[in-house]
């Protein structure tokens, strides 16, 4: 299986951001890590091995990136406005840096996105905000209401990074038709101690 790691200094985030790509061809899949994990998490926990046959057959090309959760949502020492600003910059990192790379390597195709736990939130938020450049999402065991991380701090950047808030009021001729044409919108949850199916 072809495997490539690349990294660059993100102009949106001002930090080095690595990415791992698996495969030589196929439908693109962008994977977001859990909580404060890194871009190699899905490899270490054998998820990549479980889809290896699709990757080797050229049906799937998977990408995994870092999140900024350890600096934003998971950082109890960061001020709420810092967390909100970092989430906004992370969104621009995805749309301005990661997605163009994926489209360039996959013949212009837009990816599906996926993640578990905090990665489920990131995949859902990315898809729901950008259904024009993402084809769909699989979100596993996530929580989609992140207001508790902001301690009552409510500004536009928090609102537009909280799917429970902006989806409930979405009435838009641009986004709604695109959301309705998704290849997949799959939200999976379990019944474990840390499940929070809103």
Domain assignment of residue 165, yes or no: yes
198 pLDDT exceeds 70? no
Domain assignment of residue 86, yes or no: yes
176 confidence band (pLDDT: 50, 70, 90): very high
Give this prediction's pTM. 0.94
Domain housing 95: 3-188
Q: Residues 146-167: pLDDT tens digits?
A: 999 998 888 888 999 999 999 9
pLDDT of residue 12: 99
* % of the chain with per-residue pLDDT over 70: 97
Q: Residues 57-105: pLDDT tens digits?
A: 999 999 999 999 999 999 999 999 999 999 999 999 999 999 999 999 9
196 confidence band (pLDDT: 50, 70, 90): low
- Enumerate residues 6+ apart whose C-beta is below 8 A from 160: 88, 129, 166
Q: Are 21 and 6 in contact (CB under 8 A)?
A: yes
pLDDT of residue 152: 83
197 pLDDT exceeds 80? no
Domain assignment of residue 134, yes or no: yes
For residue 139, give Cα distances in angstroms to 20, 155, 156, 161, 196. 20, 25, 24, 16, 13
- Residue 112 is part of a domain; what is its CATH number? 3.40.50.1820
Bigger pLDDT: 36 vs 103: 103
Q: Are 108 and 126 in contact (CB under 8 A)?
A: no
Count of domains observed in the chain: 1
Domain assignment of residue 198, yes or no: no
Mean pLDDT of the residues in the chain: 94
Domain assignment of residue 195, yes or no: no
Domain assignment of residue 193, yes or no: no
pLDDT of residue 194: 66
Work out the burial of residue 139: count CB atoms within 10 Å of its CB; fewer than 13 is exposed, 13-18 middle, 19 or more buried.
buried
119 confidence band (pLDDT: 50, 70, 90): very high
192 confidence band (pLDDT: 50, 70, 90): confident
């Amino acid at each position: 299986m072809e495997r490539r790691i690349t990294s660059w200094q993100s102009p949106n985030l001002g930090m080095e951001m690595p990415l791992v790509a698996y495969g030589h061809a196929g439908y693109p899949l962008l994977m977001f890590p859990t909580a404060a994990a890194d871009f190699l998490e899905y490899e270490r926990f054998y998820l990549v091995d479980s889809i290896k046959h699709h990757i080797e057959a050229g049906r799937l090309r998977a990408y995994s990136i870092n999140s900024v959760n350890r600096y934003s949502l998971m950082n109890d020492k960061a001020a709420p406005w810092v967390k909100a600003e970092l989430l906004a910059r992370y969104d621009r990192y995805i749309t301005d840096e990661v997605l163009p790379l994926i489209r360039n390597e996959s013949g212009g195709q837009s990816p599906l996105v996926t993640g578990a736990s905090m990665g489920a939130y990131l995949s859902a938020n990315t898809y729901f905000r950008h259904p024009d450049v993402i084809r769909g999402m699989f979100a596993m065991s996530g929580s989609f209401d992140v207001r508790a991380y902001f301690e009552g701090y409510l500004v536009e950047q928090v609102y537009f990074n909280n799917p429970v808030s902006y989806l409930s009021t979405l009435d838009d001729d641009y986004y709604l038709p695109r959301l309705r044409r998704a290849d997949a919108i799959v939200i999976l949850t379990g019944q474990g101690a840390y499940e929070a199916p809103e």
